[in-house]
Structure formats: C-alpha cells, structure tokens
Structure 1
Amino acid sequence: MVDRKNKKHTRGKTWLWRTLLVLGLVVGLALVFNEQIKLFVVNWMGQSTMKTISKETVKKNEKKEGNFDFKSVKALDVATVGKATTSKVNGIGKIAIPSVKMRLPILLGLANENLSQGAGTMNAGQKMGEGNYALAGHYMTASGVLFSPLKGVEKGDNMYITDMSKVYTYRVTTKTVVYETQVQWIEDVPGKKLLTLITCASPTEGETHRIVVQGELTKTTKATSSTLRVFD
C-alpha cells in the first residue's frame, strides 16, 4: 500500500524544484537579454522623441531651464533607462551623421533622462551656428545606439544639426581621445563656429577618457522638407 504522506511530500518537493528551475531560467534569461532589452528601449525612445520635435516645440523648449551639472550624470543602467521612459524631455533639435548612420534628438541639458535617449547640450545658452555648440552622449556596447557611432567617424565627414528653422552643416576637423578633465574642448574658440561631440571612450563604468569629435561650420540652409531629409 502506497504511503500517502510520503507521496504528498514527494509531490511537494517536485513542485518546489520545478518552481526553482523556472525561476532560475527566468533570471538567467533576464541576465542574458538585459543588455539587448535596454538597447532596444533606448533606441525606441530616441526615435520616438525625434518624431515629436518641430519648429514650435523647439521654440517652446528653448525657453526652459536645463540641468548642466556634469556630476549628476549616471551610468546608463536599466533603472535609469526605466525612469526615462516615463519622464518628459525637452527636445530642441536633431543631429545626424550620415556616414555612421547616427540620428538622434538634441535635448536641453545633461539630465539622465536626456542622455538615455539622445544628445544633451553641455552649456547653458549655447546656440546652433554660433560659438562652440557642444553635445554629450553615452557610448554603448551596440555600435548603432546613442553616441557609439562616433568611434567610426573620420575627418572630413559631414555632421548636421537643426533647430527645425535652419540646418547647419559642419565638417569634422578633429577626432581625438582626451582625459575627462580636459573640458577646454567645449569652450568657445575666437573666430570659429564649432560643433563638438563628447562621449566616453568605452562603455566601462568609471571610464576616465573621452572621445572628442569636432567640426567647423561650412554651410547654413533653411530647414525644408528636402534639407531635413538627412535626419530621417
């Protein structure tokens, strides 16, 4: 005769092991696909924000205040990205570098919500086509996300930014790697109209070096359906 008590105990152990196995698989899959999911969400947010940027929204958002505290910038982990999905950002333009297939929204300031989906302005009051227009962005493990494509930029490549009223074309003149304290790269240079892009030299947290890509203004044109096509 079967011992019902032992049989019930065996079923309980089997159920427990199955539950632990399923949980283990879920955790394992989350760890494996965590990075892919994060990159997908980051890319989706950036492209979604691009669609909301218009001449009217730019004029409205340019009047707002941004966060320009470099020390407040955090590594782009899952929690930061998750928070960004429910946060409002202030889009003030777009940037495109066709040679490396980089197209992103330009957002006011260095808030983590901004850097989770696009390029953040580094100085308060900076204007496109004037002085040194400096933008920061995260370097990711996927070559096509955020500022990762900057590793593939070469001297002579064209870079475009727009405030939806005009399109500014810059030609890359400098690409270098500098130490994080060399902030002079984002300062104005007398007599020059520059676009400066800054990102970490690697996705490693605590990275102390930065990739700097800088270009000089070569042309300013009116924003039309034709000239804005480079941002699509």
Structure 2
Amino acid sequence: MGTQAPQKRKNGWSRQFWGWLGILLLIGGGLTAIVYRDQIAPQVDAGILRTFDKPQKYQAEPKTIHQNTQKDRPGAISDHKWRQQQGAVRSISALDYLRRPKLSAHLILGSVAVPSLQMSLPILKGATSRNLQIGAGTLKQGERMGTGNYAMAAHNMDQPGYMFSNLPRIKEGAKIYLTDLDQVYVYRAQTHRDRQAPWHSYYYHRQVRPSNVQTIQDIPRTPIVTLVTCNATGSAREVVQGKYLHHYAYATASANIRRSFDVSTVTRTTIV
C-alpha cells in the first residue's frame, strides 16, 4: 500500500509536465507564426495552390466583347459607385483565389498581357469584388482601348504569377498589350510628361495613396493605359502606366503575341 501513493504522485506530475509542455509548444508556435507570418504565409499559400488550384479557361468571342463594350456607356451607374469599387483593390489569400466565381461572358471586355512579366488576365466591366477575384476590372465607365486613359485594377497576392502580383517588377520600356479580339493595342511603359498639360504627369511605375484618383484621369491628346494593384500591406497602390504606340488587327498578330494572352500555367485564367 505504501508504494502506490508515490506512484500515483509520479503519474500526476508526469501528466502535468506533458500538459504544460503542450501548452508551451502551442504558445511558442503561435508566437512564431505571428512573428514570422510574412515568411510563413507565402509558403502555406503556395502549398494550397499547388494542391487545389485548377486552370479556369473561358471562351470569348469578338461579337460578345463588342456588345459588352457598347453597353458600357457613361451614366450606366453613378460615378460614386465606381469610386467605391476602387476600395475592392487589395491583397487576397490563396483561399480567396480558389473561391473565385466562374467567369460570365457578358462581363468580358477583352484581355491584358505583359509578356515580360508572363502576366495575362481577362478585362472585366467594373472593379467589383467579384470581378477582381477573376481578373482585371475597369476603373471608369465607357473606357475605350487606344484612347484616353484605359485604367484597370487587379488583386495582388503573395504568389508570383497570379493576378497583378508581378506588376511591381515591370521594367521601363516593357510592352503592354490589350485586345478585344478584334484589334491588339500596344503600349510601352515609360516615364513621360505631357507638354500640352504639364500639370498631368505619369510614370511607368510608382506608388500612390489609395485615395489618389488622378492617375486614372484622362490626359488631353495623350492615350495611355493604367494598371493598378495594391502593395503588400494594402497601404498604397502600385501604379504602372504606359503610352499608346499603335494597334493592328488581331487576325494578323504573331503566334507569340497570341500566346501572351494565354498564360494558363501562370495566371490560371486564359483566353481561348
């Protein structure tokens, strides 16, 4: 009888030891995750995307895109609502990306590609939260490729090659291509100041405050393209702009240019 009590005490201390050790490990793991979350999150997201992501291809026809463009006239919705949509531009996680809705043909306005970044996304009507889960959303009503300031936005992610995540890596002089499957519009990312309107200036890459709307305004007699995404923390917007060079028929585009609008292994959303 005398030996049972010490044995029970020993078992009790053993359970307490392992219990406290488990709690300490959980606390330590939690603190480590907090301190190193910026390093851990991308690895977790990469594993999720490798395991569960599947390419989402869609059919787009010139006739449908033309009809969508004609319906996208100024006055369809209020300017206030369009400004509100700009608040949807943010960084998203792998889980948010995997939950993206299917693309509807009536939203497609075309496609944007930056071959040097291996970046290609569909252009959708409006920068709504839904559209930005799929591709790039236009930031103004009634935009026309090759004229004015064709402005669009897409999400940033911690994974290279998804959405507009590669955008901050662009180099001056890089070509930016837009297409409505009827024409291909070519722009060049470059620093430029418009002589006729010196209060307007644009740069091939810079950061601005989220409330800055000057970068999407038209510049008189200067057609440009503007690509917008958020920075890593969401505290600023990464803005890339390019000057319009020329356009030509999509039917005459080279095989390389056509392939630049179909980067399925990188963007997971392709035009076919």
**TM interval, short-chain normalised:** 0.7 to 0.9
Is the aligned partner of 1:150 residue 2:177? no
Deviation at 1:56, TM superposition (A): 1.8
Of all paired residues, the percent bearing the same amino acid is 31
Matched residue SS, 1:148? coil
Distance in 2 between residues matched to 1:208 and 1:55, nearest whole Å: 38
Instruction: Supply the AA of the counterpart residue of 2:223.
Output: K
The structure, 1 or 2, with the larger RCO (C-alpha pairs under 8 Å, 6+ apart) is 2
Change (3 A) 1:104 1:39: farther
1:189-216 superposed Cα distances (whole Å, 9 cap, x missing partner): 01100000011111x3xx2211110000
Query: TM-score, with normalisation over the residues of structure 2?
Result: 0.63
Gaps of 5+ in 1: 1-30
Distance in 2 between residues matched to 1:115 and 1:39, nearest whole Å: 21
What does residue 223 of structure 1 align with?
250
Distance in 2 between residues matched to 1:144 and 1:192, nearest whole Å: 30
Query: TM-score, with normalisation over the residues of structure 1?
Result: 0.73
Instruction: Supply the AA of the counterpart residue of 1:160.
Output: Y
Does 128-137 or 88-97 show the bigger shift? 88-97
1:30-55 superposed Cα distances (whole Å, 9 cap, x missing partner): x975564358877733xx13xx1220
Distance in 2 between residues matched to 1:57 and 1:41, nearest whole Å: 31
Is the aligned partner of 1:84 residue 2:111? no
Match of 2:63 among 36, 56, 63: 56
Matched residue SS, 1:60? helix
Match of 2:85 among 50, 55, 70: 70
Query: Is contact 2:189–2:240 with CA below 8 Å preserved after alignment?
Result: yes
What does residue 201 of structure 1 align with?
231
Match of 2:146 among 129, 138, 143: 129
Distance in 1 between residues matched to 2:181 and 2:47, nearest whole Å: 32
Change (3 A) 1:101 1:71: closer
Distance in 2 between residues matched to 1:217 and 1:40, nearest whole Å: 40
| Paired residue total | 195
Gaps of 5+ in 2: 1-40, 191-203, 263-272
Deviation at 1:60, TM superposition (A): 2.9
Is the aligned partner of 1:98 residue 2:115? yes
What does residue 13 of structure 1 align with?
none
Matched residue SS, 1:84? coil
Distance in 1 between residues matched to 2:51 and 2:216, nearest whole Å: 30
Matched residue SS, 1:113? helix
Change (3 A) 1:209 1:87: same
Query: Is contact 1:43–1:117 with CA below 8 Å preserved after alignment?
Result: no
Distance in 2 between residues matched to 1:143 and 1:114, nearest whole Å: 20
Distance in 2 between residues matched to 1:88 and 1:41, nearest whole Å: 22
Name the larger-Rg structure. 2
Deviation at 1:72, TM superposition (A): 5.7
Distance in 1 between residues matched to 2:224 and 2:245, nearest whole Å: 10
Query: Is contact 1:43–1:145 with CA below 8 Å preserved after alignment?
Result: no
Instruction: Supply the AA of the counterpart residue of 1:193.
Output: P
What does residue 138 of structure 1 align with?
155
Change (3 A) 1:53 1:87: closer
Change (3 A) 1:115 1:36: farther
